[in-house]
Chains A and B, each alone.
Chain A
Amino acid sequence: MVQVSWILCPQCSFKFYVEASHLAGEQRDKTKWFCPSCKKTFYYGDLKEDKGKKNA
């Protein structure tokens, strides 16, 4: 599958997904991603994957 990782925004708790699985671990951790809701930018390494998915 196209592997998407569900992310819980550490700032506003919005849940969204990114495609980062094809990037090597260290390279992936240094990539920046942004929350579609609060627009804050985070390093992948600082993001938490969210298994619950979907916003309430």
Chain B
Amino acid sequence: MARDLRDYLNLLEQKLQTQLLQIDKPIDAKFEVTTVLTLLEEQYDRYPALLLTNVRNVKGDLGQRVLTNMTADRRLIALAVDLEPEQWRQELTTTIARLASQRIEPVLVDASTAPVKEAVRKGQEVDLQDLPILTHHEMDGNPYCTLINVVKKPDGLGYNLAYHRNMYKDQRKLGIHMAPFHTFAIHHEHEQRNEPTPLVIVHGHHPAFNLAGASMSPWPCDEYAVAGALLGEPVRLTPSETWGDAFMVPADAEIVIEGQILPRVREPEGPFGEWTGYYGPQRQNPVVEVKAVTHRRDYIWVDTNIGHLDAPNIGWEAEVYRRVDDTLQGTLRGVYCPYSGREGFHAYIAIKKLAEGMPAIAACAAQTIGFLKLIIVVDEDIDPYNEKEVLFALATRFQADQDLNILKNVRGSVLDPSSLYPPSSATLFLDATKPLGRPYMERVGVPKELKQRISVEDFVPSEVLDAIKPARY
């Protein structure tokens, strides 16, 4: 059986049951789902995936199923790439980096065996209001699709998968915001010829498939093959309703929306609460004319609770890892893009420092990904996944007049509220590694053998331990 969302949910129930909550109470797609998620975050510091079984669609009819917050917890992403939940740190970053650089070519299947073709609506039969498209934040312009957009590259180079926001406009019309990357470039080529750009939105598949949309694969690469590598098996593709064999869609998706980005048409799109934690402003953006919607009969609409922990940016972290690892050749120990930097603006890099200058080389390699505004390089004894440790290194191994560099006028994110227009940014690089060639003070500690021999429970009963409240400091 092909790997799909259902397969993943079964695995999640087996291995991390507490992190998948099913909610059967009626709930509105407009603000209510995201309010529940926000309250879980703000009041309880909890980030489970939510499977809501009785959601109102855009028309207001109850009975739709929505799955959201699937990538808020790195343990859930670890499961998606066949790791154990506890392997959510270094193993997860390196596994995604390794898999995303491999390829497993897709296979073609007949539409009669494709679950996504169980229900087909074309032309005037299409009504996007039937879908439970969520309105996430108070100032959002409309309901928003928040998942994978697929476009075809020119010259037989295959398909590009990317996360884009698609604003619901009417029954058969969406908006799209594209940062200046691959989808943007492909649409630009079509637009130069005054041709529409065929586009497919995949709303629901195995989360390993979605990771391909967050990867930064090189241009000559079919990202359906990257998705295959992340899934560990070929993606099953089937002909689209609109373009037939000329544009293939994933057979095991929950929902596929087929449409075309119209050339030289711009309409207001936004605002939308973005991964930066701010509303991206309303802009004049392209328009998608929807041609067909196909789905499983009992489909689950998958959503990303963007603007919060549920961001797909771990693909960037894996790509930073790959680029630095290629450069350092065996001395990289870890890369973490923390939530404090919205998983895209900050990178903490741990290295085994063999020579002065290596931290700068590591930072330069990381910076090639773009977007990064703060890169802190630490020694291998510092856990890059522990922000307190990274800041400790900064406090005790860094002097601003010697260990600080700024790279100015680099490409930034159009969604960064502090960037200039056109998006221009700067990268701050901090070398928080100990200098080589001179004695350095040692960190405090107790004898290691005592830490192994002594158990706290021998001195403090476990019930007393459990009753001690976490410290506030």
Interface residues of A, Cβ cutoff 8 Å to B? 1-4, 16-23, 31-34, 36, 39, 41, 55
Contacts and interface: CB of A to CB of B under 8 A. Distances in A.
Contacts of B417: 1-2
A34 B281 CA distance: 12
Interface string B278-293: 0101111000000000
B379 interface: no
A19 B139 contact: no
Given A18-B282, A19-B281, A36-B271, A2 B141 contact: no
Contacts of A1: 417-421
Nearest to B420: A1
A32 B268 contact: yes
Given A16-B271, A17-B279, A2 B139 contact: no
3 nearest CB pairs, A to B: A19-B281, A18-B282, A36-B141
B141 A18 contact: no
Contacts of B414: 2
B262 to A, nearest CB: 16
A17 B140 CA distance: 11
Interface in B417-449: 417-423
A2 B279 contact: no
Contacts of A2: 281, 414, 416-421, 423
A21 B283 CA distance: 10
A15 to B, nearest CB: 9
A25 B140 CA distance: 26
8 contacts: A1-B419, A2-B417, A2-B419, A18-B281, A22-B421, A33-B268, A36-B141, A36-B142
A3 B284 CA distance: 14
Contacts of B270: 18
A55 B139 CA distance: 9
B268 A18 contact: yes
A3 to B, nearest CB: 6
Contacts of B418: 1-2
B267 interface: yes
A4 to B, nearest CB: 5
A16 B282 contact: yes
Given A2-B421, A3-B421, A16-B271, A33 B281 contact: no
Contacts of B140: 36
